[in-house]
Each structure stands twice: as C-alpha cells, then as structure tokens.
Structure 1
Amino acid sequence: MKYLLARGEASGRAAADQIKLPFVLVDQLLRRMKLERLVAHRCDAPMNDYVYELGELGRERARRYSQHCTYFGAAPVSLKDYVKSVQAQSLTQQRPTAEELKAAFGDLLLNRRMLDRLGPAVNSGRGLFLYGAPGNGKTSIAERVTAAFGPYIWVPRALGIDGEIIRLFDPVNHHEVPLPENTGLIDPRKVDRRWVRIRRPTIIAGGELTMAALEVTLNTSTGICEAPLQLKSNCGTLVIDDFGRQRMPIHELLNRWIVPLEKRYDFLNLPNGKKICVPFDQLIVFSTNLEPRELVDEAFLRRIPYKIEVVDPSEEEFRNLFEVLAPKMGIQYDAAAVDYLVERHYKRVGRAFRFCQPRDLLLQVLNYCKYADIAPRMSSELFDLAVDNYFAVM
C-alpha cells in the first residue's frame, strides 16, 4: 500500500518486482485487498494482470503506515531465517588451505613463516591482532583475508523484527554479484529475490568508528533502521584499522565486544525498546601500530586467540621488492642503484626497512621522470631526490 501511495498506480507485476515476491503471491494479496476495498482496478494490464490504485480506505491506511515507516522496498526476512543463513554460511564452516591463503595474498610479498602464522588464525574464523611498525602491510593483509574463504554469500536486503525494518544490504560495504545467466546450475526463477548474492564482505572501520556504528540506528525522518557494522560483516571480515586511535574510548569498545567475541552472539536494542539476540560471526582483525598489551587488558587479549607481529622485511626481501615492482611500474631495474640506496640511505644512517618503502620510493622516481620528460629508470641521483622528499620529516 505504501508503494501504491508513492506511485499512484502500479500493475500487480510491478508491485511484485518492487517487493521482490513472486507474482502469484502478490496477485492473491491484491485480490483480497480489492475485496476489502483497500485497492481498486484502474485498468487491465498485460499477461492476465491489472493496474491497481488505492481506494479511500487504503489511502488512509497507507498514510498511517508511512507515518511509522516509509519503507516499501523488498519484503523483509525474519530474524529466524537470517540466523539460519548465517549458520549455513559461517566462516567456521570454511577451511582455507595453504594454497588458498597463498592465492589470497598473491599480490603481497609474504614469506612462508608469515603465511604459516596467518593460516591457523584465518582458519579459526575468530579474532586476530595484527601489530607492528607502520608501513609493513598490516592493513593490506587484513583487507585480503576474506579472499581465502568461499567467495560469495547471500544476505537479506532487509530484516523485519517486531514491526521494525532493519536495512542490512549496504551497497557501500557490500558488492552485489548477480547470478550468471544460462549456467544451468541455478534457476533464477526459483531464487528468493529478497536475498542478495554478494562477495563475502570485508568491512573496514578506522579512526572514525563510534559507538553509534555498533548499534541499530534509526532514521527518524523515514522510520527505517540501519544495521550496525558487525551485523553487516557477518560471514566475512571486520577490520578495526589503526586500533587505539578511534574517536570512542578503547574501554567502551572492549566492554561492548568482550562477551560477543567469546560467545559468538550479540545483543542489539531496537527503537521500540526490545532487545534481540543476533549472530556475531565474523573474523575480527585489530590492526595497530601499538603493542597490544599497552592497549587492552589480559581478559580481552585472551578472547583474541591470535596475535601476529608484522615485522620489518629482511634486506633480501627489501631488495627483492624493487626487482619485482620496478617492471610492473615501467621502470628499468638497476641493481647498482638499489645497492647505493641501501648502503647510503639505510645502513649508513641506521634506517629500518619497511615493506611500503620500495613502492613509495619508486613512485617518487617515476613522478620525477615524468616531470623531467626522461625514460623511467633507477639511479643514485634519482634515489637521492626521492629520499629527500620521502624522509624529509621522518
């Protein structure tokens, strides 16, 4: 009725497409509503259908419904069905192998020792601390963890709980992947269109994270609720980047999640005052430049079973990065120039190697070559310029 109130008129098939339900169900509902004088036929429509409009009684009722909530999208899914879907698609049902993990991190230069430490942590599907000096790829690792699991999951467009509509599918954080056509494996006509096929989600929250993002939030102008980040990241990965520098105090975040991290379920408060129990089923990755023991107490650390330090690269790994990255960036590799860089600007001044530096320094070289209109290449002079710019205040 709210859809007809907004549109003025619509065919039965258009209404079915709007709320993502089979036409046969919507047709039966519209026929019953016509008998109750909530809607009326405006004219015939193709394929044994009609164009409907609201009657006076239906218009009054639709306005009343819209005052509470303006939502007229896909029919909401029940909490019970959503819980079953999370259990069926849970990370704990996945067992990524060493080869799958290597493929997930294929564009990163990770040694076997790091992969062997990450493997059990990813397989656990629980909590993971990534810590270490800035510039060694903690965020890059965290962003790629999800790729080790099954690629796709199904999520509801919206949940309906005790009269409240909670929007779960989020085009900003969820990447929809439509079913391929004519594969013969799945008949699209038999798919419940209230659900969306998406890539297994990776949601990143940085310093902007607040307590409001972890609770159901109500849009007072529309009456539609928005699901919190942890609900949107179920069956995927939730990355708390730059942990310890959030706008919210650390102890508030710890108190909020200390029980869900252990029990694997969470309690959310609805605008109507009811408290609901929902799955807390994602791999949470805390990425920080600080020592974990300086941030949180022992009780919280115990609930994060894996703490992995992302260490500086060895000199061999550092040199290898230049050899790998230079051709990809269109720069001619020069081992002598790298020798000069390492000896003059690292060993002589006691500067630590970082995984991000070869890429960043090569970008400086590339940009200067473009400016000077010369062929991209490495040289001691170009590395001197790059280092002066890059490490000016570091």
Structure 2
Amino acid sequence: MSAEGKLSPAEYLRRMGMGVANSFGATPAPPSSHLAPPGNSASTSSKPPQSVADKGHHPAMANNAHRAAAPTSSPIGVSRSVTPQPPAHPSPAKGASYPAAAPQGVGADVSDASINALRSDIRSLLKSNAGATRPNVPLDPISSRETESLSLPVDADNGRLNSLFERVQNLLGPKKTEGENEFLPAEPTSLYETRLTEDEIERLILKYLLARGTATGRQVSAQLKLPYGLIEPIVKGLKQDTLLAYRNTAEMGDYEYCITDVGRERARRFMEECTYFGAAPVSLRDYLHAMEAQSITRHYATEESLKAAFKDLLINPSLLDRLGPAINSGRGMFLFGEPGNGKTSIAERITRCFGSTIWIPRALGIDGDIIRLFDPGLHDEVETPAAEQGLFNLTGIDQRWVRIVRPTIVAGGELTMDQLEVTQNMTTKVCEAPLQLKSNCGTFVIDDFGRQRMPTTELLNRWIVPLEKRYDFLNLPSGKKIQVPFDQLIIFSTNLEPRDLVDGAFLRRIPYKIQVPDPTEAEFRGIMQRLAPHLGFQYDDAAVTYLIKTHYAAVSRPFRSCQPRDLLLQVKNFCTYKNYPKQMTAEAFDFAVANYFSVM
C-alpha cells in the first residue's frame, strides 16, 4: 500500500488476476496455493497453520472452549466452528487507507457483471502476455516490495492495461486528496481484529434481541456495527445452543431470529450488569493509536490558516499574531478581557486550525466496562458524500467508528467535577466519558472561568498534571485506573484577572495569557458595517457617527465587540414594532441605547 492510499499496478494484478477471488468476495483459494506463483505450487509449505490458541494472541482464542471442538453440522447443513482465527495473511493495520481485501458486502454499489467483466479482461491480458518478459513483481502478499509501474513489451497491451487500471480505480473510489485525515479505521476481517471476545459479542446480541424481539442476522450486524461475516457464525452458534431460534427466512440466505426462553433468561442477567447493546466497543489500544495519529500536535497554525479560521470575525491582526504561537504550543491558554469582546467566539474558531475532521469510537470497551464516547449533543457527525462512496470507501471502514468535526466543547458555569470523571448511570450501568476525553484532538473551552459551582482550586488541582504531561488518569467503576491522552487545547476564558483566580504554580503551566482588548472606533464601525446587511439594513455611516458621538464619546463609554450586534437587533425590533422600513436612524439608535444601557 502506498502512502497515498492508492494500490500499485502490481497490487491490482495480484489481487484481481492472481487473487481475484479474495478481492471480490468469492471463495478464496486454499492457503497452500495462494502464496505461490503459478506453476510453482510445490514450493509452498504444507505445514498446517498454527492454531490461535497456540499463539496466545488474544483472550478470545480461549473463550467458549465447548465450541472449539471439531465443526459439527448445523440444522441447515453449515459447518460450525466459530473459534476466532488470526488472518491467513496480514490484516491492515488500524489507520490503513484501504483494507487488504474487500470486506463483506462488496457489490452493494457495483454490479457483479462489472466485476466479472473486469476480472475476465485482466485474465485475458495476463494470458496473452504469458511469455512476455516482466519485471520481478512480488506475488507474496506479505512482501513489503511494491512496483509502481508494470511495463509490458507491446504498446497495445500497455493501453489495455492502463484502461483496466482506470476501471479498477473507479471501483475503488476517489483517491484521497492532500490535507485529508490520514487515519482511517479499517474494517475488521476476523474476530481477532475486533479485539473482542465471542462472549462479549454474544452479550450484545442477546440484549439487543431481548429489547427488539426479532431481527435478521444483518440487522444484528447493523446494530453492532460489525461485518455480517463475523456476526453470522456467532448468531448461528447461539441458535445451536438454543438461546435463539429461527422465526423465518430472510433475503440473501439470512434468517430472522427470535430469542428463546433460555436466551431471554440469560439476556436479563446480562441486562442487570449493563443495559448497553449499541455498537460493539473499540479497545483502548486502538483508541490510543487513533488519538496519536490525529493529535493536534501534528497540526500547526500559520498566519494564512489563522486568517482563514477567523474570516467571519473582524479581529485585530496583532491579536492573531499572539494567538498563533499559543495554538501551536497545544498546551493551553488564558483568554481574558472585558465581557462582550468575543473571547468565546475566538475560542470556538481556534479548532479550525487543526484540520476538519477526526474519527472516534462510538464506545470504548475496557475490561468489561463500556464507556460511551460519541455524544450527538457535543459531536457533529460528518456524512460521507455520495461522490466519495467508492467500493472500498463505502464498505472498508470500521463502522464502530464515527467521523466527526474536530470537537469544540464549551463548558461554562454549569461545569462540575463529576463531568471530568468517568460516570456510571446506576440504573443502566452504562458509563459516560468525561468532557476532556470527548474533546480529545480538539478544543476544550472553560468559559466564564472562576464562576463555576466548584472552587477554581479544585479544578486546577485536578488538571495540574495533565496540562504538563499531556495524559490523564481515569478511574473506572470496576476500580481500575487507566491512562488516556489529554490531547486538546485547553482555553480558560474569563473576564476576571487571571492572577486573582489562580496561583503562580498553575499560571506557569499555562504559558500563554492573552488579553482580548476593547475594539477601537474604526473596528467598531467595521463590525457595524459587516453586520448591517445580515440583519436587513443598509449601512448608514452618518447614523453610526451620531451613535458614537452622542452615546459613546460624550459619556466616555467604552466600545465592546458585541454591542454593534446587540444595538442593531434593538433597532430591528423597533422598526418592526413601528412598522418603519429597516433603516439605521438617530431615532432608532436613541431608542436602542435607552434600552440597552439603562443599567450599564
């Protein structure tokens, strides 16, 4: 796999010419012949594969020992052996751009006729050039070598080959463009790759069917966000153990399942432990890898990117120059100044400098505890555009992960210490991730710092180590303590003086203290001019001059960045009430000022 996520021509031929059955979901060739070049199968070792239990890779391998015996015949004539096995050849590492082989469900967007025609053309081309001299293209899928181009001696064949490559690339979907998120969670191709035990998946299935009543195997797969190929043998195993029963047949060789009395009793016991039956959880190990790959420390703000992030705000260039280095430090900052000058607006836009989107798990599974991480109330899920849903893009992503806009989480005076720890609902026994975990790879804004219900010293003592070390420790309901990334830009926004809130030891750990000043008269006019069209007004400089001289200069009133918006809204409401045309007039501004500044 190249760094750009694009298959090399040699890889195309290996998968579609030599290994086309694997690439498009057909039955793969036996392992003894898959790795050998044509005509050299005798060189392949006949040694039987080592069992997973012998290798000891994962606790799932020893799970359900009563099912690890020789396959038995199921009622529908399907051999059953669901002991997880490691992949026959290396599976894609988490974060790979595309999986090494087409996952389950190929053909949803591409017709079988198109695939078969392409396969036939490639085989025909290979056959016609069987005697030609070719470069040494590795056929072993575990080889690290790649050949960027495959030169054939006949120009006509080169043309045919290029045409085939174009057709294959159309099936694969568009090439990833520069600047996109490099991390992509690859769909698991085996139970081993999910890092889940069979028992954990069975618990989710039984609880889901207890709540739903009946479901097909593919509906169970969609609920757990796992490939149907991994779910099918487990569901059939539950049926064989009389925990589930067939209710009806379904499309594509599937069955509709219902839970039996024995299964219902077991599911109720599982519900007492935890009621969660959503997407299968992701391991802490995979989460740590994802956060490292998408860390804010991998992104740096430049003057141009900062201007682009703040293009909808009128902001002093000198303030931008102070914000840039603070953002690049990734360690946190104080934004302080008078209320209404845009501290919160500035903090919310800083996240744009770190890239557009990231991938996070829907839930984490840690030693039996399930922690919900994805929060629709705080995270904005990104839909995959139809144009980007190529063959591998659509089905090659681990659906247990969700793509979101880089998070910007704002917590104000309502923030409590409980929101900074893993909390468990005592009724459902489902755990909720703390806010700092939900804001990883983004920005966490503590707004109105100093006005929280808890003392500021309590918050500072909780974060004094994470701010310096960039990792945090969380206590789980089971009593276990885990180390997690503290990978977000923490912004303390306050209209109080920082030295009055915290001591020097804490201020030292937040190296950037940036004051957001009052706008100048020119900036005040600029904000008014920019906002007027959005509120339905035509900007009138004479009326604004009257406002400044009469209600600001004459009474020595300081400007605030929020005042142009607030005053124009007052004028708009005044004009609507009087049935006047929307105009910026002296009379309207007098009315707005009388209301707005009456107690200020």
Residue 287 in 1 paired to residue 493 in 2?
Answer: yes
CA distance in 1, matches of 2:365, 2:534: 49
Selected match of 1:317 from 497, 501, 523: 523
Aligned to 1:210: 416
Selected match of 1:11 from 216, 234, 250: 216
Any conservation in 1 of the 2:314–2:526 contact (CA below 8 Å)?
Answer: no
CA distance in 2, matches of 1:152, 1:45: 38
Give how far 1:148 is off: 1.9
Cα deviation code 1:302-348 (max 9, x no counterpart): 11121110000111111222222223322232222222221221112
CA distance in 1, matches of 2:367, 2:243: 24
Aligned to 1:46: 251
Aligned to 2:278: 73
Residue 36 in 1 paired to residue 36 in 2?
Answer: no
Give how far 1:184 is off: 5.6
Cα deviation code 1:214-264 (max 9, x no counterpart): 111111111100111000000111110000000111111001110011111
Aligned to 1:179: 384
Aligned to 1:366: 572
Secondary structure at 2:507 match in 1: helix
Secondary structure at 1:223 match in 2: coil
Change (3 A) 1:385 1:56: closer
Secondary structure at 1:182 match in 2: helix
For structure 2, the 5+ residue unaligned runs are 1-205
Aligned to 1:260: 466
Comparing 342-351 with 192-201, greater Cα deviation is found at 342-351
Cα deviation code 1:96-140 (max 9, x no counterpart): 222221111111101210111111112222201100001100011
Which is greater in Rg? 2
Change (3 A) 1:328 1:42: closer
Identity of aligned residues (%): 65
Comparing 318-327 with 197-206, greater Cα deviation is found at 318-327
TM alignment of 1:245-394, pairs within 5 A: 245-394=451-600
Comparing 46-55 with 15-24, greater Cα deviation is found at 46-55
Aligned to 1:236: 442
RMSD after superposition:
1.4
Secondary structure at 1:319 match in 2: helix
Cα deviation code 1:275-297 (max 9, x no counterpart): 11111111111100001111011
Selected match of 2:350 from 121, 145, 163: 145
Change (3 A) 1:176 1:384: same
Comparing 27-36 with 261-270, greater Cα deviation is found at 27-36
Selected match of 2:427 from 221, 241, 250: 221
Secondary structure at 2:252 match in 1: coil
Change (3 A) 1:372 1:62: same
Secondary structure at 2:388 match in 1: coil
Higher strand share: 1
Secondary structure at 1:154 match in 2: strand
Give how far 1:91 is off: 0.5
Per the normalisation by structure 2, the TM-score is 0.64
Aligned to 1:86: 291
Secondary structure at 1:247 match in 2: coil
CA distance in 1, matches of 2:247, 2:578: 71
Secondary structure at 1:352 match in 2: coil
CA distance in 1, matches of 2:210, 2:361: 25
Residue 99 in 1 paired to residue 304 in 2?
Answer: yes
The residue type equivalent to 2:558 in the other structure is A
CA distance in 2, matches of 1:236, 1:151: 10
Aligned to 1:57: 262
The residue type equivalent to 1:55 in the other structure is T
The residue type equivalent to 1:107 in the other structure is D
Per the normalisation by structure 1, the TM-score is 0.97
CA distance in 2, matches of 1:357, 1:59: 62
Give how far 1:7 is off: 1.8
Cα deviation code 1:138-189 (max 9, x no counterpart): 0111111112221111111101111111000000001111212232665211
Give how far 1:42 is off: 2.5
CA distance in 2, matches of 1:325, 1:25: 55
CA distance in 1, matches of 2:331, 2:233: 46
The residue type equivalent to 2:269 in the other structure is R
Cα deviation code 1:332-365 (max 9, x no counterpart): 3222222222122111211111111111111111
Residue 197 in 1 paired to residue 403 in 2?
Answer: yes
The residue type equivalent to 1:102 in the other structure is K
Cα deviation code 1:173-208 (max 9, x no counterpart): 011112122326652111100000111111110000
Change (3 A) 1:62 1:380: same
Secondary structure at 2:387 match in 1: coil
Any conservation in 1 of the 2:244–2:260 contact (CA below 8 Å)?
Answer: yes
Highest relative contact order (Cα 8 Å, sep 6+), 1 or 2?
Answer: 1
CA distance in 1, matches of 2:460, 2:240: 56
CA distance in 2, matches of 1:103, 1:92: 19
TM alignment of 1:121-160, pairs within 5 A: 121-160=326-365
CA distance in 2, matches of 1:324, 1:180: 33
